[in-house]
Structure 1
Amino acid sequence: MSQAVKTASGQVTGDLYAEVRTYYATQMRRVDTLDIEGFADTFTEDGVVVHSNGVRAEGREEMVAGMHKALPRYRDVAVRHWFDHVLIEPVDGVDELKVSYYSMVTLLDREGRIEFEPTFLVEDVLVRREGRLLTRERVIHRDQPVEQG
């Protein structure tokens, strides 16, 4: 299965670009330090995450429950989420944004060995609520080789 390459339909200001990148840096530091409730707080109350395996978490409560289940996987490792190639498309001025980016996750064990997770394309819808960016929807696509043909 091949993945379509997206291009941005409009340009955003440098200030908005910096705000979005800072938002993601803050969000990922919360998840990387296993601040599950703080991470969930970066989503709208009714936010949705669709994982690459099709599992959906709807609302902060389901997100927190799912992440607590996954905690044993992250015992004795340092987790880092790396995002790049960020495309930001305004939908409604700066109050709704479609954002897509590439994601890579590394796990560092106590001996300094690094394990790489599969890479992903992530598509988010960010909304502004009371002056604050929040994720309303996240869809995570595991990368697949492009079919030649």
Structure 2
Amino acid sequence: MTQAVQAESTEVSGDLYAEVRTFYARQMRRVDSLDIEGFADTFTDDGVVLHANGARAEGRAQMVAGMYKNLPRYRDVAVRHWFDHLLIEPEPDSGGNTLRVSYYSLVTLVDAQGAITFEPTFTVEDVLVRRDGRLLTAERIIHRDLPVVF
């Protein structure tokens, strides 16, 4: 699956760009340190994650349960999520309180000897909402990157 690139872009302020980057830095440090509840707290109560394999987690409780189930996969490795090439587009008529964000994700796993393993790359589409002055993820759709067919 390929994601369409819009012909026209919406520019955001440097302050908003920095706020979104900081939000993701904090969110990913929580998941990388296996702070499962802290990570889930960066989503709305009814937040939804649709994984590339089709699995769906709806609400913080399902997210937390799914993450605990996957914990053995991360035994004896340091996990790092790397996000880049963020496109931030405010939802029209939301007063800047709803943002559509698309970015590329790379996940690395480092073992005790320092050997690095790379996970497949992904393109992620998020909907961020501002609640009580705080950004939260309301929706995340994760697409595994595949070659472009032409």
Matching of residues 21-40 of structure 1 within 5 Å: 21-40=21-40
What displacement does 1:9 show? 3.4
Q: For 1:71 and 1:24, how far apart are their aligned partners in 2? A: 21
Q: What is the number of residues matched between the two proteins?
A: 148
Query: RMSD over aligned Cα, in angstroms?
Result: 1.1
Distance 1:7 1:126, change over 3 A: farther
- Judged with a 3 Å threshold, the aligned counterparts in structure 2 of structure 1 residues 69 and 109 are, in CA distance, closer, same or farther, namely same
CA spacing shift, 1:98–1:24, aligned 2, 3 Å: same
Which residue in 2 is equivalent to 1:114? 116
Alpha-carbon spacing, 1:8–1:127, altered in 2? closer, same or farther (3 Å): farther
Looking at structure 2, the residues matched to 2 and 44 of structure 1 have their Cα atoms a distance apart, in angstroms, of: 27
SS in 2 for 1:121: strand
8 Å CA contact retained: 1:7, 1:87: no
Deviation per residue, 1:41-61 (Å, 9 max, x gap): 000000000000111000000
- TM-score scaled by length of structure 2: 0.95
Q: What does residue range 52-71 of structure 1 map to in structure 2 within 5 Å?
A: 52-71=52-71
* Distance change in 2, residues 1:119/1:134 (3 Å): same
Normalising by structure 1, we get a TM-score of 0.96
Q: Say which SS state the counterpart of residue 111 (structure 1) adopts.
A: coil
Equivalent position SS for 1:4: coil
Within a 5 Å distance, the mapping from 1:7-86 to structure 2 comes to: 9-86=9-86
Given that 1:3 and 1:146 are in contact with CA atoms closer than 8 Å, whether structure 2 keeps it comes out as no
Deviation at 1:6, TM superposition (A): 4.3
Which 4+ runs in 1 deviate beyond 2 A?
A: 1-9
**Aligned-partner SS, 2:146:** coil
Distance of 1:131 and 1:8 partners within structure 2: 28
Query: Which segments of 5 or more consecutive residues in structure 1 lack a partner in the other structure?
Result: none
Identity among equivalent pairs (%):
74
Number of the residue aligned with 1:101: 103
Shift of 1:94: 1.8
Q: Which stretches in structure 2 are left out of the alignment for 5+ residues?
A: none
Distance 1:3 1:89, change over 3 A: closer
